[in-house]
């Protein structure tokens, strides 16, 4: 099976393929030995792929920094040390990289975040908005449950820990960042009292403070990897006997 044939299967899942998706490096017509699915093509993930004998790496996030379609005119960005290091590692190992972003969000990533948190069926499921009504629960208990379910030692919380939560919204991935303040504003239309986010920042935290909404940060990768693991299992069944592995990235930071 060729890399392009694997890509065709992905592109049938939840079309259309976005302009930010598709092959990012390597030969689309290469024969696939093994596949690895990871959140991002970090050096850690590339090393894991090499050690496992994978020559197709399917990732959710962009290979390069910065997003070239958002930052036009940066003609030398491929020479940045981080980009050069990744490209050299991929070239040496002969690994092809394919990015599946919005397609996998629609296929499973958003809903799998809610399932990973053990939330009930969503009260609202419109586009990328998910709202869950729960029994009144103190914020501190919501936080502890999220830590247990996602196997995370620490979470960042903006808001009073003794507030009662009844309606939860999920700005997964990077939708809790101030870059996506428009999404945060739109999800407030559904009147959540708590947001369990992927990644957030202080601008967005101040936004939530003044909106009177608690926001809990789990991490960008942490909120999306349950769905990516689901996708890896699905793909493995579709392309048997070609092995499909899932690589969970180690945390990017520690509390000191």
| pLDDT of residue 230 exceeding 90 | yes
User: What's the start-to-end Cα distance of the chain, in Å?
Assistant: 47
- pLDDT the model gives residue 85: 98
Element (H, E) at 145: helix 139-150
Taking the whole predicted model, whether its pTM rises above 0.85 is answered as yes
Residue 67 pLDDT class (50, 70, 90 cuts): confident
Residue 10 has pLDDT above 90, yes or no: yes
* Radius of gyration, CA atoms only, the chain: 19
List, for residues 107-156, the tens digit of each pLDDT value: 999 999 999 999 999 999 999 999 999 999 999 999 999 999 999 999 99
Contact, 131 vs 190, CB < 8 A?
yes
Q: Could you give all domains of the chain from N- to C-terminal order, each with its CATH number?
A: 3-100+223-247 (3.40.1390.30), 105-218 (3.40.1390.30)
CB atoms within 10 A of CB 252: 11
Average pLDDT score over residue span 196-214: 98
Residue 245's Cβ-count burial label (10 Å; 0-12, 13-18, 19+) is: middle
Q: What is the mean pLDDT of residues 92-114?
A: 98
Pairing mode, strands 124-126 and 96-99:
unpaired
State how far Cα 236 lies from the chain centre.
20
Task: State the residue for tokens 């850690």.
Answer: 44
pLDDT at site 62: 96
Whether residue 17 is predicted with pLDDT greater than 90 in this model: the reply is yes
Residue 72, pLDDT above cutoff 80: no
**How many Å apart are CA 95 and CA 35, to the nearest integer?**
10
CB atoms within 10 A of CB 16: 9
Give the C-alpha separation, 223 to 171, whole Å.
Answer: 9
Question: What share of the chain has pLDDT > 70, as a percent?
Answer: 97
Sheet strand arrangement including 35-38: 22-25, 96-99, 56-59, 35-38, 244-247
Closest residue by Cα to residue 144 from 235, 66, 203, 216: 216
Q: Around 29, how many Cα atoms within 13 Å sit in the side-chain half-sphere?
A: 0
pLDDT band at 66 (very low <50, low <70, confident <90, very high): confident
Helix (H) and strand (E) counts in the chain: 9, 11
pLDDT average, residue stretch 6-12: 98
Q: List pLDDT tens digits, range 31-61.
A: 999 999 999 999 999 999 999 999 999 999 9
Q: Using alpha carbons, select from 198, 215, 218 the residue that is nearest to residue 154.
A: 218
pLDDT for residue 69: 57
């Amino acid at each position: 099976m060729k890399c392009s044939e694997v890509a065709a299967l992905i592109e049938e899942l939840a079309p259309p393929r976005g302009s930010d998706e598709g092959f990012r490096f390597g030969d689309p017509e290469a024969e696939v030995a093994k596949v690895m699915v990871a959140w991002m093509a970090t050096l850690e993930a590339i090393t894991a792929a090499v050690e496992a004998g994978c020559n197709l790496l399917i990732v959710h996030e962009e290979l390069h920094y910065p997003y070239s379609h958002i930052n036009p005119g940066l003609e030398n960005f491929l020479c940045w040390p981080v980009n050069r290091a990744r490209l050299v590692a991929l070239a040496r190992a002969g690994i092809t990289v394919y990015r599946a972003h919005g397609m996998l969000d629609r296929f499973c990533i958003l809903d799998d975040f809610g399932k990973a948190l053990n939330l009930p069926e969503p009260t609202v499921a419109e586009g990328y908005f998910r709202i869950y009504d729960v029994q009144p629960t103190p914020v501190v208990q919501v936080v502890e449950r999220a830590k247990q379910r996602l196997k995370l030692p620490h979470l960042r919380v903006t808001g009073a820990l003794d507030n009662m939560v009844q309606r939860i919204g999920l700005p997964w991935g990077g939708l809790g960042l101030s870059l996506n303040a428009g999404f945060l504003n739109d999800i407030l239309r559904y009147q959540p009292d708590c947001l369990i986010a992927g990644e957030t920042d202080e601008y967005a935290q101040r936004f939530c403070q003044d909106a009177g909404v608690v926001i809990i940060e789990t991490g960008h990768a942490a909120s999306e990897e349950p769905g990516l693991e689901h996708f890896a299992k699905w793909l493995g069944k579709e392309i048997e006997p070609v092995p499909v592995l899932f690589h969970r990235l180690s945390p990017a930071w520690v509390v000191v």
